[in-house]
């Protein structure tokens, strides 16, 4: 399925209407971020394996998370879970700068190299455990977490600006997970559940499975 058909049929028709998000999804070549043997499936409505028991997320979920985060051109955004680099590339079309953390060394190296080759120059990839956020680059206008946490890591809430948004799947890998939007207003965090989801688990500090 061609890229533009994917955006129309799987994303726009399913309720994502933010014009900037739809345009960003049309410009990022997902087939360049999947494994070579999966290129013909790159525009399907599903996640795909990227090695190391990890996945590149379903395109609809990438678009929906970006819409929920209400990204603005001047925003500084933190992504947890660089994976293939695809989601970071989409976010980078919508904001000023993306800081992305990946815990698997080979994935971090591969994604950084791919993003450099494709000239996504406003993304900084770091190898590490995203549980503590990225204190040197904080605060962030938005934080997008692309692996499921059992609890929302407190450092991420601390690193949001006033008015900041955190989009994160929360729940156990063995039961239900919910995509949650948390917003900081006058120092108070408000949480709204948005969608039942199924993500690979966040590993590292603070999570029970490594
Ligand atoms: N955003 C990715 C993309 O566009 O390909 C998909 C990410 S995949 C669903 C989740 C990623 O989170 C995996 O690459 C995994 O290694 C990473 N991850 C898991 N726990 C992490 C942690 N504590 N810190 C940083 N990355 C983590």
Across the chain, what does the average pLDDT equal? 95
Residue 82 lies inside a defined structural domain of this protein: yes
Residue 141 lies inside a defined structural domain of this protein: yes
Contact 189, 182 (CB under 8 A): yes
Question: 57 CA distance to ligand 1 centroid (A)?
Answer: 10
> CB 114: neighbour CB atoms within 10 A?
18
User: For 208, which DSSP code?
Assistant: S
My answer on whether omega of the bond before 139 falls inside 30° of 0, hence cis, is yes
Domain that holds residue 129: 3-197
Residue 161 lies inside a defined structural domain of this protein: yes
C-alpha distance from residue 66 to each of 11, 109, 167, 186 (Å): 12, 24, 9, 23
Residue 155 lies inside a defined structural domain of this protein: yes
pLDDT tens figures, 129-169:
999 999 999 999 999 999 999 999 999 999 999 999 999 99
Residue 209 lies inside a defined structural domain of this protein: no
Whether residue 101 has its Cβ less than 6 Å from ligand 1: yes
pLDDT tens figures, 99-123:
999 999 999 999 999 999 999 999 9
CA-wise closest residue to 145 among 78, 97, 196: 78
Residue 107 lies inside a defined structural domain of this protein: yes
Q: Whose CA is nearest to atom 12 of ligand 1?
A: 81
Pocket test for ligand 1, best of 34, 83, 84, 209 (most atoms within 8 A of CB): 83
ipTM, two decimals, is: 0.99
Q: What is the pLDDT of residue 205?
A: 81
The length of the chain is: 210
Q: Mutual orientation of helices 59-68 and 19-27 as an angle, nearest 10°? A: 140
Domain at 159, CATH number: 3.40.50.150
Q: How many domains does the chain have?
A: 1
């Amino acid at each position: 399925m061609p890229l533009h058909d994917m955006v129309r049929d799987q994303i726009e028709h399913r309720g994502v209407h933010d014009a900037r998000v739809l345009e960003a999804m049309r410009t990022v070549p997902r087939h360049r971020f999947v494994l070579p043997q999966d290129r013909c499936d790159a525009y399907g409505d599903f996640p795909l394996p990227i090695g190391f028991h990890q996945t590149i997320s379903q395109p609809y979920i990438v678009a929906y998370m970006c819409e929920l985060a209400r990204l603005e051109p001047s925003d500084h955004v933190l992504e947890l879970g660089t994976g293939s680099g695809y989601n970071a590339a989409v976010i980078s079309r919508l904001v000023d700068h993306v800081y992305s953390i990946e815990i698997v060394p080979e994935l971090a190296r591969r994604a950084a190299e791919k993003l450099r080759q494709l000239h996504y120059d406003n993304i900084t990839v770091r190898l590490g455990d995203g549980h503590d956020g990225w204190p040197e680059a904080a605060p962030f206008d938005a934080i997008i977490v692309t692996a499921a946490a059992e609890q929302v890591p407190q450092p991420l809430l601390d690193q949001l600006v006033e008015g900041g948004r955190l989009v994160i799947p929360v729940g156990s890998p063995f039961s239900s997970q919910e995509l949650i939007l948390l917003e900081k207003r006058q120092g108070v965090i408000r949480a709204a559940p948005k969608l039942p989801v199924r993500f690979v688990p966040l590993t590292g500090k603070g999570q029970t499975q490594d």
